[in-house]
Chain A
Amino acid sequence: MTDDESSPEGEETGGEGPAESRQRRGFDALFDSDAIMLLALLLGIYAVYVVGGVVIGFPLRGLVNQLGQLTFWIAVFGMGALALNLHWGYTGLFNIGIVGFMATGVYVTAIVSKPVFGSGTSAAEVGGLGLPLFVGIVVGMVAAGLLGLVAALPALRLRADYLAIVTIALSEIVRFTLLSDAVSKGTFGGYTIGLGGGDGVILDFADPHEAFVKALSAPFDLILGTEDYLWEEIYLGVLVDAAGAIIRPNPKPVVDNFFYAALLLIVMGGFYALLRRTGNSPFGRVLKGIREDEDVTNALGKDTNLFKIKSFVVGCALMGLVGILWFGAQGSVTPNTFRPRITFYIWIALIIGGAGSNTGSVIGGAIFAAFLFQGPLYFKNVVETVLGNPEAPASFGAAMAQVGAGDVVPFLLYTLDSLRQLQLVIMGLVLIWLMHNRPQGMLGHRKEIASSIPLSRPSAPAETDDGSVATDGGDPRE
């Protein structure tokens, strides 16, 4: 369950005969560059969506919106899978309470960054501390990490399946807490804050992307003496106006969607860089050692518990951030959004891509988002439009009654209409199929060089010996 993102091409084949090596190199070269593979996959996905949209004559606005949505989901599931990869892929921690950490992140951010109760025109039930959004995000991440710490301190000693049950129970405890009336509203130090109970909370802080652009424009404002230069002049003045040439009327929501999704892609790049850096560091090597054999790692003098706790806390904080970015731009959240189902979405994404591989995580996130999460709904849209939005039977019974009369069309329509539910059946079947046929995922189990320097001999034309890899420190053998 390992990968090799850092090594120059050819290392994996270093121990093979030249002919075979060359052949494999030719084949691998196509896929050696993870970036190219990823790019090809993304382009393919977008092409499929565009073709689907053109077939049904989607209006341009709808198509663009659809692509923005798709990008958003790819980024969200990519980030989620990357964060989970730190737990499961690197360290072997079986965390199925992801959604609890996401919820913690979102809710704490809401409390910190919502405007103070009673200020402005907000109709929100509860207020917040009114701090800037980036403070809220940081505090939300810290809170998710702290929850992870609380869970990790006792639970990491447990077997993997026990840890699984503890984490999923914890995520449910978080949800019950959010649902509870006991903490839905209260006054602390003059602030009316709370979790909102079953009604959820209204996220009436600034739009994340707007806040981001305005924060970026601070240096420009300082020099030019303007206010929110980037937002007012560049974003609204140039970007939105340019989009207005193609999409009218009111291009701003479309641009907002796209811009936010692109922003998330950049954050996902940050996740990727962080994980790759971690994986190649001595710290990451200890984590992988723990994954392979904790006792041996312990015997080598590493405090494995400490390493596991650190890995867990960092991963949980990242999951908190994913939650914030996912739900933070939606205007409001309710506790029952945070059901364990979301946890399994991210697990499926990671398993598709291959645990242990960062590129795999992103690819898994993209495939999951495009074909399992958005795909069925898009397919449903396309088919329904092609068929001219036919009326589907209201229930399985009604559909079956007509099958009994020899007419299968209503049943097919009912199936199509129920795709939103059936897509979870598809996900379950895909998961089973993967565990049967490719448990390591697409990019899992790649060979990994433990050394930080290349081990292949730079130029060894006469290397036609037994083909063994140097195990003696690399000195030429006689």
Chain B
Amino acid sequence: MAASDIYKRGRKLTVDRPVTVFLVALGVLLLAELVRQLLFGQVAVSRVIGVVWVGLMRGLVIGLAGIGLSMTYSILNFANFAHGDYITTGAFSGWSVTYLIAGGFGSRADIGALALVGAGGSVFGGTLGINVAATPVAVVAGLLVAGLTTVVLTLGIDRTVFKPIRGAGGIPLLITSVGVAFALRYLILFVFGSDTRGTTAAGSLPGIRPYIVDGTVLFTAHDLTVIVVAGGLMLGVHLLLQRTKLGKAMRAMSDNESLARITGIPTERVIRSTWIIGGALTGIAGFTFVLWKGTLSFNDGWLLLLLIFAAVILGGIGSIYGAIVGGLAIGLTAEAAVLWIPSGFGRAAAFAVMILILIVRPQGIFSGRSTA
């Protein structure tokens, strides 16, 4: 009797939601394949752990940057394609300050070269010995400046570009944001140049290298920095949105803007607060990302943007927890996919996950919980 019940339910599930069943089957298959590879020693346990760890770090950065995108997406109702270049702006402004401080304001290298983050290979982060343990003041100052600059930038762009066409609808705003993205990215290229520079001194970076089962895995102080910064900010945003009136106002606005305004919510002020919070998180995410991966180029934010979109959509637009969980899932997918498929398809796999989610569950995992 019980067996036939299970059979019936399984049959019903297969008929009603074939895609879900297929996805579950695919997941089981992939896991089985991984276990097989582990058992036969084709892939080392330490490698799996290392890949997962890197994926989680990347995911934290994506999630942190995704919070801002998710908030503006749900409150202003448009997909902001300039978000990636906000990340880049934050990274460059913050790193400019970090270079200046670590370079002793021109005492250790040309001050112009420092301010331009070593454009054209004029000065290297490694030479300046920058990392979170060796130059903590420079790193923290850069972190703060990155957040601050991005806030100013987002507010300025909102005032001049997005505000005049606030009511135009999602698509015109999206197209406009593409224009903003282009202008920003190539202005950055114009000023800072096109070279990818190494920003940190990896050699002197403290870290541990424990032996796990069959090999070593590296955990560095920058991993810890990512965890502290991202975790702390995520907690802060959570408290802010749960405990303050602002959070309630944001939730109200993302549900129904006209109704919110009628109720007496100062919508423009809420929008401004949204940009401030989102901009700060975005800029800091950009700075932290560069600190963690150790290179900086004018394309970084743009290359991260689609992954952030994937994370935000996966988690459910407007949901803070969604952005975090989505970020972790997407970061993990992009890194860990190389265990099954050829390297080079990692990001493709993350995009594929996003497309699948859009098809199966377009409202995302954490749907129905706007802005918190």
A interface, CB within 8 angstroms of B: 94, 154-155, 158-162, 164-166, 168-170, 172-173, 176-177, 179-182, 344, 347, 351, 394-397, 400-401, 418, 421-422, 424-425, 427-432, 435-436, 439
Between-chain CB contacts (< 8 Å), 16 pairs: A160-B170, A161-B170, A162-B358, A165-B358, A169-B309, A169-B354, A173-B352, A181-B342, A182-B345, A344-B178, A347-B178, A397-B110, A425-B187, A427-B179, A428-B184, A431-B176
If A165-B309, A347-B178, A431-B179 touch, does A421 touch B186 (CB 8 Å cutoff)?
Answer: yes
Which of B24-32, B190-198, B274-282 has 4 or more CB atoms under 8 Å from chain A?
B190-198
Which residues in A have their C-beta under 8 angstroms from that of B119?
Answer: 395-397
Question: Is the pair B344, A182 in contact by a Cβ cutoff of 8 Å?
Answer: yes
For A400, give its contact among B112, B165, B309, B352 (CB under 8 Å).
Answer: B112
Closest A residue by C-beta to B185: A424
A427-B179, A429-B179 given; 4 more Cβ-contact pairs under 8 Å:
A158-B359, A162-B362, A182-B342, A432-B161
Number of interface residues of B (CB under 8 A): 52
A421→B182 CA distance, assembly (Å): 10
Which residues in B have their C-beta under 8 angstroms from that of A425?
Answer: 182-183, 186-187, 190
Closest A residue by C-beta to B191: A396
Question: Is the pair B359, A155 in contact by a Cβ cutoff of 8 Å?
Answer: yes
The 8 closest A-B CB pairs, nearest first, are: A431-B179, A428-B183, A428-B182, A182-B342, A169-B351, A432-B179, A424-B186, A397-B112
Question: Is the pair A347, B175 in contact by a Cβ cutoff of 8 Å?
Answer: yes
For chain B, residues 166 to 210, give those with C-beta under 8 angstroms from any C-beta of chain A. 168, 170-172, 174-176, 178-187, 189-194
B250 at the A/B interface (Cβ < 8 Å)? no
Query: Interface residues of A: mostly helix, strand, loop or mixed?
Result: helix
Which residues in B have their C-beta under 8 angstroms from that of A400?
Answer: 112
Which residues in B have their C-beta under 8 angstroms from that of A94?
Answer: 171
For B182, give its contact among A173, A431, A435, A436 (CB under 8 Å).
Answer: A431
For A418, give its contact among B171, B180, B190, B348 (CB under 8 Å).
Answer: B190
For A161, give its contact among B78, B182, B359 (CB under 8 Å).
Answer: B78
**What is the CB-to-nearest-CB distance from B99 to chain A, in angstroms, rounded to a whole number?**
12
A397→B109 CA distance, assembly (Å): 13
A400→B192 CA distance, assembly (Å): 12
B113 at the A/B interface (Cβ < 8 Å)? yes
B325 at the A/B interface (Cβ < 8 Å)? no
**What is the CB-to-nearest-CB distance from A148 to chain B, in angstroms, rounded to a whole number?**
14
If A173-B351, A431-B179 touch, does A396 touch B190 (CB 8 Å cutoff)?
Answer: yes
For B347, give its contact among A160, A165, A172, A439 (CB under 8 Å).
Answer: A172
Closest B residue by C-beta to A348: B179
For A427, give its contact among B116, B165, B182 (CB under 8 Å).
Answer: B182
**What is the CB-to-nearest-CB distance from B333 to chain A, in angstroms, rounded to a whole number?**
13
Which residues in B have their C-beta under 8 angstroms from that of A421?
Answer: 186, 189-190, 194
Closest B residue by C-beta to A414: B190
Question: Is the pair A394, B120 in contact by a Cβ cutoff of 8 Å?
Answer: yes
Question: Is the pair B79, A180 in contact by a Cβ cutoff of 8 Å?
Answer: no
B313 at the A/B interface (Cβ < 8 Å)? yes
- Considering residues B175, B181, B193, which has the most beta carbons from chain A within 10 angstroms of its beta carbon? B175
Flag B350-365 by CB within 8 Å of A: 1 or 0 each: 0110110011001000
Question: Is the pair A165, B313 in contact by a Cβ cutoff of 8 Å?
Answer: yes
Which residues in A have their C-beta under 8 angstroms from that of B347?
Answer: 172, 176
Question: Is the pair A432, B172 in contact by a Cβ cutoff of 8 Å?
Answer: no
If A155-B359, A161-B171 touch, does A172 touch B176 (CB 8 Å cutoff)?
Answer: no
**What is the CB-to-nearest-CB distance from A397 to chain B, in angstroms, rounded to a whole number?**
4
**What is the CB-to-nearest-CB distance from A294 to chain B, in angstroms, rounded to a whole number?**
14
If A172-B306, A347-B175, A397-B119 touch, does A432 touch B180 (CB 8 Å cutoff)?
Answer: yes
A382→B209 CA distance, assembly (Å): 60
